[in-house]
Structure 1
């Protein structure tokens, strides 16, 4: 998720010692929310049933879903 946010927002970031995502820069709430929604639509929500019950799987460099 952090890598996805970095790519979408064009910034760098990391997970800190308490497990929080830290992004470099100053961002309004809207672009971050839109990036999170985009991640959910791409990787979480099932295209067929619309439920968040599928799993993202990385095979080599491709990302696919298992329901």
Structure 2
């Protein structure tokens, strides 16, 4: 047991989101917020899926 040992149980996934965009920032003055999932601009998702298709590690640090 350790930090984020419930990520699988919580169904934490990386996904594309409209609230991670320059347009959203221009309208709201900030990035949007997810429920803990790493969110990326939708236009980057296909490239990330291709890059990570054979496995990979996503390290997220908020310190």
Q: Shorter-chain TM-score: which interval? A: under 0.3
TM-score normalized by the length of structure 1: 0.27
More helix by share: 1
More strand by share: 1
**Larger relative contact order (C-alpha < 8 A, sep ≥ 6)?**
2
